[in-house]
Amino acid sequence: MEKLMGCTISEVTLPDYSEIAKLAEGACPVNWALRCVKQAQLENCGMSVMCRDGVTQLALVITDIVSGKGKDDDLSLIKELCQIFSTTAGCEMASKVAKNVLYSMEHHADEWEQHCRRKRCAALVCADYYSIYIDPTTCIGCGTCLRLGPEGSIAGGEGMIHVVLDDGKIKTEEFVRACPSSAIKKAGAVKPNLPAAPIPVGSFEVEGARKRRRERG
């Protein structure tokens, strides 16, 4: 009996599920699981059905879950698949990834539920579940974001409060960090009140505060 399997697990360092316990504040366990899956998808040798088609299937379903297309029974489907993968002999990569996903699901069941059914990501990591905005009270009108953002994503001008027109291409941590005044922020389900177009720096605060007071009253 000649053996052919060319599994590369020994050469690939997939994150270990113990790392999830150490996930920094603000990390998303669903996103973390998806990243493990995608890495395994890139690196597996393709010779066994669990590694090849199984990991691909996980990637498709979890991608749906983080992008608003999760279906009701997706969580139980992933669980079933992962339980099988993690106990199948000879599919090291699939087995390890499946254990990671299961671990994440067990320890963060709530977050998975939120992603799948309520289309929310508490950590504001999953791109489809947050939007990028510029805090009109913090923006200093320096124009850094306007220069960095692709054409059509930001509107603004010298001394003006900048406004996000389309956040499709700017949902990156780098972009968020680029603002010297930390005015670029993420919003989840609750969207803040924002100017529709650039207005001079300093002119929003008053407007907004008055409005808010009136609403409360």
Partner 1 sequence: MIITIDGKEISVNGEQTVLEAALAANIYIPNLCTHPALPVQAGCKLCVVEIDGRPVQACETAAHDGMCVTTKSDDISRRRNVAMELMLAGHPQDCTSCKVYLKCELQALMQYMGTVHSRLRTVQRETNSIPSVKNPLILREMERCVQCGRCVRACENLRGVGAIGYAKHGGETYIGTESNAGLAEAGCRFCGACIEVCPTGALQDEEGVLSQEIAKHEALVPCQVECPAKIDISEYLRLINEGKYSQAHAVVREKAPFPHTLGYICNHRCEDGCKRGKLNSSISIRNVKRYAVENDSDMMWLDAAMAPLGAKSGKKVAVIGSGPCGLTAALYLQKKGHDVTVHEKLPVAGGQLVTGIPEYRLPLEHVQKEIDFIKSVGVEIKTNSNIDSVTRLKEGYDAVLVAIGASQGKKLSMEGSNLEGAYAALDLLRDVRLGLPVDVGQTVNIIGGGNVAFDCARTLLRMGRKVNIICLEKGEAIPADAEEIEEGINEGVVLYDGTATVQIESENGVITGHRIADVDDTSTERMIPCDSIVFAVGQGTGLTPEFGIDINDQGHPTSDKSDHTTSVDGVFAAGDVMTGTRFVIEAIAAGREVAKEIDRYLGGDGCIDETLSPRAAKEPKIGKIDGFAEMTRVASHVHTCDEATREAGRCLQCDLRRDIGPVKLWTEYTAN
Within 8 A by CB and 6+ apart from 11, the residues are: none
Binding region for partner 1 (CB under 8 A) out of 60-68, 160-168, 174-182, 185-193: 60-68
Work out whether 68 is an interface residue with partner 1 (CB under 8 A). Answer: no
- Is 11 an interacting residue with respect to partner 1 (CB under 8 A)? no
Shorter beta-carbon distance to partner 1: residue 51 or 154: 51
Give the CA diameter of the chain. Answer: 81
- What is the C-alpha to C-alpha distance for residues 185 and 64, in angstroms, rounded to an integer? 25
Query: Of 48 and 104, which CB lies nearer to partner 1 in the complex structure?
Result: 48
- Least distance from C-beta 182 to partner 1, angstroms? 36
Does residue 105 belong to the site contacting partner 1 (CB under 8 A)? no
> Is 145 within 8 Å of 134 (Cβ atoms)?
yes
Q: Is 24 in the site for partner 1 (CB under 8 A)?
A: no
Q: How far apart are CA 150 and CA 217, in angstroms?
A: 41
- Using an 8 Å Cβ cutoff, are 65 and 30 in contact? yes
Is residue 136 within 8 Å of 194, Cβ to Cβ? yes
State the minimum distance, in angstroms, from the CB of residue 37 to partner 1.
Answer: 9
Given a contact cutoff of 8 angstroms between Cβ atoms, the answer to whether 27 and 124 are in contact is: no
| Nearest distance from C-beta of residue 14 to partner 1, angstroms | 14
Query: Is the Cβ of residue 13 or residue 76 nearer to partner 1 in the bound state?
Result: 76
Q: Which residues bind partner 1 (CB under 8 A)?
A: 1-6, 38, 41-42, 44-50, 52-57, 59-61, 64, 73, 77, 80-81, 84, 87-91
